[in-house]
Structure 1
Amino acid sequence: MDEPVRVTLEDGDESEAVRIADTEGEVSVGDATVRFDVGGDRPEREADGGTVAEANAEAEAETDEDPRYVAPAADVPSHGTLRFEAVDGRRRIDGILQRLDDDGVVAWENSCPHKPEVKLDRGLGALVDGDQLVCHEHGARFDCDDGYCTRGPCRGRSLSPIGVTVRDGDVYLTDERFEGGRRLD
């Protein structure tokens, strides 16, 4: 598969949006599990004749040695967001980073609790008004420090947090659900 695809699974009141980057596997939410195989029996080829897997391995070798490294903290805006991807095997979650007033950094899943398929950051940074993230689709407002929704159709719910920390000027994943991460922008 050249590009990961976004899949949203719903099970009653629970919903999860993930990015699939493999040709076979399974994705679960609640009691629902979806297994898939999209004919990945031959390696995809790059223009130079190498496989996509080989190209990905070379790109990963060129990046920071720590797979939990996401981005330099200086690149994370305080009045916007920076997109990243948290990875656990074949499961990929879109996330957003935001700098707080105290220079700390928080991370959330890049989806609105009201409609999980709606990304808060579509690629140019999420809208931040004062100390709140704002959903571009229906105006829900989320406190930047804890992700709690104070206004909109999902009032009283919260953004799904992803654990991160700033160490030596860089942002790293601390969330044990994920093996690693990478910046998307």
Structure 2
Amino acid sequence: MSDPVDVTVDTDDESESVRIHDDGGEVEAGDATVRFSFSGTGDDGQAVGGDDEQSPGGNDDQSPDDGNDDPRRIAELDSVPTDSTLVFEARDGRRGVNCILHRSGDAVAAWRNSCPHQPEVPLDPGRGAIVRGDRLVCHKHGAQFERDDGVCTHGPCAGDALDSIEVTVRDGDVYLTDERFERAERR
């Protein structure tokens, strides 16, 4: 499969969204598990696609001679906006989760790029999330989230919180430290 696919599974009490970089996989939400495959068979009856474990790697923002090949490095601190967000993907094997970074001074917070009200709606659709004062705003529903802890203070998901992704700032760079993921990729 050449292009990743976003998959969302909703149950009565939970929603899980992931980005798949493979010809199949599974997604779990609550007690539900959805398994799927996008590969078919060729004219000779052999499976097409499938078991190749090679995946795209590296950060798009890194050049070969920048001296930093840490797969958990997301970006330089100075490139993370204070008036918007920066999109990246947290990866675990061939599964990816679309995430956003936001900076306040030298502090950086990261969350899954997904509104709790409708998980398939990204807070940052690709041009930066709306930031008003100390809040991130869902462009579709108008829900407002505190930029320090991600708690929704106004809107259809008031009281819910964005799914936090652990990051840290070290030597002027932002790194993914969330143990659920093995690497980060800029989008």
Give, in angstroms, the shift of residue 163 of structure 1. Answer: 0.2
Q: Which of residues 149, 153, 157 in structure 2 aligns to 1:154?
A: 157
Q: Which of residues 61, 66, 72 in structure 2 aligns to 1:68?
A: 72
The TM-score normalised by the length of structure 1 is 0.87
Instruction: Give the number of the structure whose residues are more often helix, by fraction.
Output: 1
Alignment of 1:15-164 (within 5 A): 15-39=15-39, 41-42=47-48, 53=54, 56=56, 62=64, 64-101=68-105, 103-164=106-167
The one-letter code sitting in structure 2 at the alignment partner of 1:118 is V
Are residues 1:182 and 2:181 paired?
no
Distance of 1:74 and 1:27 partners within structure 2: 35
**Total equivalences in the alignment:** 176
Distance of 2:120 and 2:157 partners within structure 1: 14
Asked if structure 2 preserves the Cα contact closer than 8 Å seen for 1:71 and 1:182, the reply is no
The one-letter code sitting in structure 2 at the alignment partner of 1:155 is A
Give, in angstroms, the shift of residue 57 of structure 1. Answer: 5.8
Asked if structure 2 preserves the Cα contact closer than 8 Å seen for 1:99 and 1:105, the reply is yes
The one-letter code sitting in structure 2 at the alignment partner of 1:156 is G
Give, in angstroms, the shift of residue 122 of structure 1. Answer: 0.6
Structure 1 residue runs of 5 or longer lacking an equivalent are 45-50
Q: Secondary structure at 1:139's aligned position in 2? A: coil
Give, in angstroms, the shift of residue 80 of structure 1. Answer: 0.2
Percent pairwise identity: 56
Asked if structure 1 preserves the Cα contact closer than 8 Å seen for 2:90 and 2:97, the reply is yes
Q: Secondary structure at 2:81's aligned position in 1? A: coil
Give, in angstroms, the shift of residue 42 of structure 1. Answer: 3.8
Asked if structure 2 preserves the Cα contact closer than 8 Å seen for 1:88 and 1:179, the reply is yes
The TM-score normalised by the length of structure 2 is 0.86
Q: Secondary structure at 1:156's aligned position in 2? A: coil
